[in-house]
Amino acid sequence: MSREQDRSDEDLVAEKRFDRSTAAFGEFYARYEPAVLAYHRRRVGLPEVAADLTAETFARALAGRARFRPSKGSAAGWIFGIAHHVLVDSARRGTVEQKARERLGMMPLVLDDEDLARVDRLGENDRLYAALDALPEEQRTAIVARYVEDETYDETAERLRTSPAVVRKRASRGLARLRDQMRGWA
């Protein structure tokens, strides 16, 4: 495991040289790009639009990294807050904003058929994702960390600055809620 992978999300974002040319940004992007892309894909109908929204989300994160405050919340909450604002701004305007990407000199996205298929697969379990989204944030975070990102309870607890027992309990309660919701599915 590299030195960057040992660092928390908050440490990566807070790094002085958190920009697209550094390992810190690359690691943060690798950790969150699939989840942010899935977030956008579940909310918009076209994989191309989801990819554009994701690119703008990370561009805004780069442009606004100086405003990140770990004392105000996790880096995961920060990036998903940005994703939410990008989505809302896009819906309001009727188009995907590209100003942050343009300011940073980022090239336009070019997606091939394989890229589009990958994004499309992210929306296949919409019902499950909707149920997951309906959970309280603490429970959702614990479930995603453990069962999607394959973190141990200890790793998640360290990242969230809580105890492994608390993370276990949050995941357990969240899974119980998901099971209850799924019982009614045909």
Read off the pLDDT of residues 44-73 as tens digits, 9 standing for 90 and up: 767 778 888 888 898 888 888 778 777 777
26 and 1 together in one domain: yes
Residue type, 173: R
Q: Is 80 found in the same domain as 5? A: yes
Are 88 and 53 contained in the same domain? yes
Q: What is the mean pLDDT of the chain?
A: 76
76, 17: one domain: yes
131 and 99 within one domain:
no
Q: Give which of 141, 130, 144, 148 is closest to 42, Cα–Cα.
A: 130
Total structural domains within the chain: 2
Query: pTM (2 decimals)?
Result: 0.52
Q: Taking 50 as the threshold, does the pLDDT of residue 3 lie above it?
A: no
19, 29 in Cβ contact below 8 A? no
Instruction: Please answer whether residues 78 and 62 qualify as being in contact, where contact means their C-beta atoms are separated by less than 8 angstroms.
Output: no
My answer on whether 177 and 109 are in the same domain is no
User: Residue 136's domain spans which residues?
Assistant: 125-186
Residue 169 has pLDDT above 90, yes or no: yes
Domain end position, chosen among 88, 107, 124: 124
